[in-house]
Amino acid sequence: MLHRVVDIKNKKEVESLFEDTLSYDCDLSENEDYFRPDTIKLGFENEVERHVHKVTNRIKEFNNKNFDKALGKIVDILGEQDYWKDCYHDIIELGDNKVSVCIIIGGDSGQY
């Protein structure tokens, strides 16, 4: 589980949350054998950075609705990995552009 309070108007905080979420899978963050062939050539350090860039750079300014949608994409990317199947997120609006984010990161439900 990952829990964080994030100011959705602070792009660095949002990117950090997304990076931390995807970094649960080492194949996305460390294992170059699983990177797409052009990831490094395009200037990305790893698949995490590539995914976060793709998701966050489509949004000019985050609001509650598009933050939820973007976070959903990030959680879906993690859930599509071989091990991390059942992943969910929940957001509670705290006001002043701050949200409480809880991400439940499961394992392959067939293993348990």
Query: Domain range spanning residue 84?
Result: 2-111
pTM over 0.85: yes
Total count of domains within the chain: 1
Examine the pLDDT at 85 and tell me if it is beyond 50. Answer: yes
- DSSP-based helix, strand, coil % in the chain, nearest 5: 45, 20, 35
DSSP states along 58-100: T-SS--HHHHHHHHHHHHHHHHTSSS---EEEEEEEEETTEEE
> Given pLDDT bands bounded at 50, 70 and 90, which one contains residue 112?
very low
